[in-house]
């Protein structure tokens, strides 16, 4: 189901947050919106992890500083969750998109992209994508718990917002907004 079906892309303003489970299409949607609207694209995974590593995490204070600098921009679309920084991000945001695809779809997309995609949007510079048990655990065990928290947060937040609850709904939204992935 697609909530706020009549919401137009322009209604989300010039500082858009995209949330959702791993491998739901956040980075691709962010790049596409940025290209369409002339916004800066910010992939939080790239701020959270050190480049030229196998997804090694930055020190927390460095990540928070990079995040807070990024949200101070005037025109951006930002993809990623990282809930410890959500309060300050939402204070600056003008719109929210929640991609709420199923766990099996997220797991399938993770395996497909890791095995078959050599170049992908939001990939870590110099990083290596490979199937990781930690990531599978995150998708299968952690993400379903987060889904409930994100649904409540989505309901409570007072911003223009769109919730897309399937791959099909995401594709329909691309068409409705005239976006080319």
Q: Say if 181 falls within a structural domain.
A: no
156 and 87 Cβ atoms separated by less than 8 Å: no
Domain that holds residue 137: 2-176
Q: Say if 83 falls within a structural domain.
A: yes
Q: Say if 104 falls within a structural domain.
A: yes
Q: What is the CATH number for 25?
A: 3.40.50.300
Q: Say if 72 falls within a structural domain.
A: yes
Give the total number of structural domains in the chain.
1
| pTM given for the model | 0.89
Handedness of CA 10, 88, 85, 83 (dihedral sign): negative
94 and 15 Cβ atoms separated by less than 8 Å: yes
Q: Say if 124 falls within a structural domain.
A: yes
Q: Say if 10 falls within a structural domain.
A: yes
Give tens-digit pLDDT for 144-180. Answer: 888 888 889 999 999 999 999 999 999 999 999 999 8
Give tens-digit pLDDT for 74-130. Answer: 999 999 999 999 999 999 999 999 999 999 998 898 888 787 776 666 665 666 677
Q: Say if 95 falls within a structural domain.
A: yes
Q: Say if 163 falls within a structural domain.
A: yes
CB burial of residue 79 (10 Å; 0-12, 13-18, 19+): buried
* Backbone dihedral region for residue 102 (phi beyond 0: left; psi -120 to 50: alpha; all else: beta): beta
């Amino acid at each position: 189901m697609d909530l706020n079906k009549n919401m137009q892309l322009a209604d989300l303003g010039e500082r858009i947050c995209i949330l959702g489970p791993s491998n739901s299409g956040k980075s691709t949607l962010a790049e596409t919106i940025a290209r369409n609207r002339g916004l800066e694209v910010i992939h939080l995974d790239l701020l959270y992890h050190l480049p030229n590593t196998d997804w090694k995490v930055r020190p927390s204070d460095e990540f928070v500083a990079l995040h807070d600098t990024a949200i101070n921009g005037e025109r951006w679309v930002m993809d990623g969750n990282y809930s410890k920084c959500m309060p300050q991000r939402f204070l600056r945001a003008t719109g929210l998109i929640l991609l709420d695809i199923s766990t099996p779809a997220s797991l399938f997309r993770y395996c497909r992209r890791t095995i078959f995609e050599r170049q992908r949007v939001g990939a870590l510079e110099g990083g290596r994508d490979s199937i990781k048990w930690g990531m599978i655990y995150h998708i299968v065990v952690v993400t379903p718990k987060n889904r409930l928290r994100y649904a409540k947060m989505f309901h409570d937040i007072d911003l223009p917002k769109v919730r897309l609850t399937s791959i099909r709904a995401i594709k329909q939204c691309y068409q409705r907004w005239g976006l080319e992935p």
